[in-house]
Amino acid sequence: MDRILVTGALGQIGSELVINLRKKYGDDRVIATDIRMPADTTLRDSGPFEFLDVQDEHHITRVMQQYKIDTIFHLAAVLSAIGETRPNIAWQVNVGGLYHILEAARQYKCALFFPSSIGVFGPSTPVEDTPQDTIMRPETMYGVSKLSGELLCDYYQKRFGIDTRGVRFPGLISYETEPGGGTTDYAVEMFFEAIKHKKYTCYLKPDTSLDMMYMPDAIKAMIDIMEADPQKLVHRNAFNITAMSFSPEILAAAIRDYIPDFVIDYEIDPVRQAIADSWPDSMDDSAARAEWGWNPKYGLEAMTSDMIEKITKRLYRTT
Ligand code: NAD
Ligand code: SER
């Protein structure tokens, strides 16, 4: 990785990935792009930023030429809950945008990281120990677009030899940047509300289990898979990866170890509940472990302890 382009760089993942990539590969070698301007000074002042809409193929070409890009982390997307309210935009950004990025990768011979999601699975997929290769009939526009993305990346790799790689992320938990409108966002909201108000109203049922991961593990996964020996990758574009599986009531109990008077109640949102019900409870990530050494550091306890410490510091500036 010499000159790296990150699309959707101001989102929940991108805002942390860019800083990590700049530390590892050099500030000027990581070009952050988004359709918003950065408010955060750390990202804005640490390296190049370009306004870039992934639906604008001509602008993508100009940026590729200007910075002589050889690796792309393509994060720009519309997530699951927003995707159900605006399915046409979700399709245009998630599939149309990826198509333009794949074409740019083909033209400029770039490696490409594409983040897929647990959203690619559907109600007919086995929910426990969801296998790497299994039934995939997603019923959300997000899932349909992400599964199309996996297939497009496979196609470009086989047909044109483009070095496409990717993972199926579960819900990601972090404190730097708010999540962007997904179904798993409740987990992040719960931490902030517990610390600020000792109370949270959850939009998913108490026993809805979903795979989750703490952001430091997600960042490491993206860099590790892009640095992995390509000869060892069989499932290049869509590795199941997970770090923990929990439900709202289990997360609330873990938070109560630190905030004993934290109270949770429930007002179910039928749209997000239906999405969560169609996703796995826990994925089998043995292919990622075997093919490129995936091994997450944070489980529920370690993640909870770190989130509470970091959010408290952020909100109340304790040392
Ligand atoms: P996010 O919603 O926080 O950020 C997405 C970014 O894309 C935003 O900053 C947005 O401004 C930008 N964007 C939207 N439309 C764009 C366009 N047309 N052109 C350029 N930029 C555009 O999302 P995230 O959580 O950072 O997710 C990044 C990627 O990871 C997405 O592809 C998502 O599907 C995938 N993913 C995320 C999670 C998660 O829990 N966060 C889980 C699974 C997969
Ligand atoms: N966290 C994401 C969402 O809920 C999963 O892809 O949309």
Per-residue model confidence as pLDDT tens digits over 140-186: 999 999 999 999 999 999 999 999 999 999 999 999 999 989 999 99
Q: Give 294 Cα–ligand 1 centroid separation in angstroms.
A: 22
Give the ligand 2 atom nearest the CA of 172.
Answer: 1
Q: What is the mean pLDDT of the chain?
A: 96
pLDDT at res. 40:
82
Q: How far is Cα 150 from Cα 170, in angstroms, rounded to an integer?
A: 15
Q: Which among 168, 163, 252, 171 is positioned nearest to 210, based on CA atoms?
A: 171
pLDDT per residue as tens digits for the range 70-105 = 999 999 999 999 999 999 999 999 999 999 999 999
- CATH architecture under which domain 173-211+244-280+298-316 falls: Alpha-Beta Complex (3.90)
Task: Flag the least confident range among 96-105, 211-220, 310-319.
Answer: 310-319
pLDDT at 42: 87
Residue nearest to atom 6 of ligand 2 (CA): 117
Those residues with Cβ within 8 angstroms of residue 115's Cβ, 6 or more apart along the chain or in another chain: 13, 74, 75, 77, 166, 167, 169, 222
41: left (phi over 0), alpha (psi -120 to 50) or beta: alpha
What is the rounded CA–CA span in Å between residue 16 and residue 10? 9
State whether residue 218 is helix, strand or coil. Answer: helix
| Residue 142: active-site member | yes
Q: Which atom of ligand 2 is nearest to the CA of 142?
A: 7
CB 211 within 8 A of CB 282: yes
Of 142, 141, 121, 139, nearest in space to 130 by CA: 121
**Ligand positioned closest to the Cα atom of 272:** 2
Ligand nearest to the CA of residue 97, numbered in listed order: 1
Verdict on whether the full-model pTM lies above 0.95? yes
Distance 112 CA to ligand 1 centre (A): 16
- CATH number for region 4-170+215-240: 3.40.50.720
Give yes or no for residue 117 CB within 6 A of ligand 2: yes
Give me the catalytic one of 142, 156, 200, 298: 142
What is the enclosing helix (H) or strand (E) of 17?
helix 14-25
With the most atoms of ligand 1 within 8 angstroms of its CB, the residue from 7, 10, 13, 74 to mutate is 13
CB-based contact 214:16 (threshold 8 Å): no
Residue 14 has phi, psi (to 5 degrees) of -60, -40
CA distance 142 to 129: 22
Angle at 127 between CA 177 and CA 218, to 5 degrees: 25
What is the C-alpha to C-alpha distance for residues 211 and 169, in angstroms, rounded to an integer? 9
Dihedral of CA 118/122/126/127: which sign?
A: positive
- 149 Cβ inside 6 Å of ligand 2: no
- Cα–Cα distances in Å, from 174 out to 113, 122, 179, 192? 20, 26, 8, 11
**Cβ contact 183:174 at 8 Å:** no
What is the residue extent of each domain of the chain?
4-170+215-240, 173-211+244-280+298-316
Which residues have CB under 6 Å of ligand 1? 7-8, 10-14, 34-36, 53-55, 75-77, 79, 93, 97, 115, 117, 169, 171-172, 179-180, 182, 184
Percent of the chain with pLDDT over 70: 99
